[in-house]
Chains A and B, each alone.
Chain A
Amino acid sequence: MKAVIAVTLKPGVLDPQGQAIQRACTSLGYESIESVRQGKRFEVELEAASVEEARRLVEEISDKLLSNPVIENFEIESIG
């Protein structure tokens, strides 16, 4: 099975990389780009007997390792 997980910074956590990317857009002439927030995307392959079991495992590793709950949120974008 394959799962795709997105990890993003929580609102309120400063994202200097996103800000730098936004400024780069502006300097390239894309002045309509107002804000960029950068995140991470994980593609995970796993063995599981069911989608439910896979989701439980993926939630567990997302919470324990892939994201830091102090600063980040995670979302399972797809699984199956």
Chain B
Amino acid sequence: MFAVVQFPGSNDDRDLVYAMKSVLGADARLVWHKESALPPETRGVLLPGGFSYGDYLRAGSMAQFSPVMADVRRFADAGGFVLGICNGFQVLCESGLLPGALVPNRNLQFICDFVHLRVEQAAAPFTSRTRVGDVLRIPIKHRDGCYFASEDEFRSLEENGQIVLRYCDAKGQVTANANPNGAVGNTAGVRNRAGNVFGLMPHPEHAVEPALGGTDGIAILGSLIDALGGAR
């Protein structure tokens, strides 16, 4: 069962359950942030997009202290798979489960658009359905999505293969023009050193049906389902 944590102000929580359950056939359930523990049958944790706590102070800064997050941290420390999308990525960075931080977009605008992403790491549990160099087309919708890490830290992230996705053009070229928000190294998705926690600004759950404009998000959500041995 995938636990989709619902914070006050989450707004992609139901879309994520829909993508996991109705499109991909996995067992996924909303878990309210005030729960003191994840349900015992939890096999993966998904932190959805939105504006938890209204983005007060800094995006994701308050949600890290929600009661259920202590158990999410234990789950992650024990090697459990945790995926954070958009606001979920911000929460993971703020809580220290992922390195770096997400700061306001360089142009200070809210951007809602399809972007292209170059796969830099194709491995379980989050990108096993892809190959390095694949180009995914998935939408972003954020104002605070500019990934930042200090020069030294970013170098070590690159050396350790923790940069999973980069913004690129339609041909897979990672260029300054293809960088929508000013993220260091065109970074769109990062994983932790152990590889069991992954955060990304683009929304795979919004690219799971042709009617939504594309289906490339399945490559990511489906990889996670595969990593847990199938849909249940």
CB of A14 within 8 A of CB of B57, answer: no
Q: Does A78 contact B (CB under 8 A)?
A: no
CB of A71 within 8 A of CB of B103, answer: yes
Give the chain B neighbours of A16 by CB distance below 8 A: 104-108, 182
CB of B149 within 8 A of CB of A70, answer: yes
Give the chain B neighbours of A71 by CB distance below 8 A: 101, 103, 148
CB-CB nearest in chain A for B103:
A71
The contact string, 1 if C-beta is below 8 Å from chain B, for chain A 40-80, is 00000000000000000000000001101011000000000
Give the chain A neighbours of B104 by CB distance below 8 A: 16-17
Give the chain B neighbours of A29 by CB distance below 8 A: none
If A70-B93, A70-B148, A70-B149 touch, whether A14 touches B103 (CB-CB below 8 Å) is yes
Give the chain A neighbours of B148 by CB distance below 8 A: 13-14, 70-71
Q: Does A24 contact B (CB under 8 A)?
A: no
Give the chain A neighbours of B182 by CB distance below 8 A: 14, 16
Q: Does B58 contact A (CB under 8 A)?
A: yes
Q: Does B13 contact A (CB under 8 A)?
A: no
Complex CA distance for A70 and B105, rounded to whole angstroms? 17
Q: How many A-B residue pairs have CB under 8 A?
A: 36
In the complex, how many residues of chain B place their beta carbon closer than 8 angstroms to a beta carbon of chain A? 21
CB distance from A6 to the nearest CB of B (A): 15
Complex CA distance for A70 and B107, rounded to whole angstroms? 21
Q: Does A20 contact B (CB under 8 A)?
A: yes
Complex CA distance for A71 and B148, rounded to whole angstroms? 8
CB distance from A43 to the nearest CB of B (A): 15
The contact string, 1 if C-beta is below 8 Å from chain A, for chain B 83-115, is 000000000011000011101111110000000
Give the chain B neighbours of A66 by CB distance below 8 A: 57
CB-CB nearest in chain A for B94:
A68
Complex CA distance for A12 and B153, rounded to whole angstroms? 13
Complex CA distance for A21 and B188, rounded to whole angstroms? 28
Interface of chain B residues 153 through 198 with chain A (CB within 8 A): 182
Give the chain B neighbours of A12 by CB distance below 8 A: 150-151
CB of A65 within 8 A of CB of B108, answer: no
CB distance from A40 to the nearest CB of B (A): 8
CB-CB nearest in chain A for B100:
A70
Complex CA distance for A13 and B182, rounded to whole angstroms? 11
CB distance from B194 to the nearest CB of A (A): 19
Q: List 19 A-B contacts (CB under 8 A).
A: A12-B150, A13-B103, A13-B148, A14-B148, A14-B182, A16-B105, A16-B108, A17-B104, A20-B108, A65-B61, A66-B57, A68-B61, A68-B94, A68-B101, A70-B99, A70-B100, A70-B148, A70-B149, A71-B103
**Which residue numbers of B lie inside 8 Å of A, CB to CB?**
57-58, 61, 65, 93-94, 99-101, 103-108, 146, 148-151, 182
**Which residue numbers of A lie inside 8 Å of B, CB to CB?**
12-14, 16-17, 20, 65-66, 68, 70-71
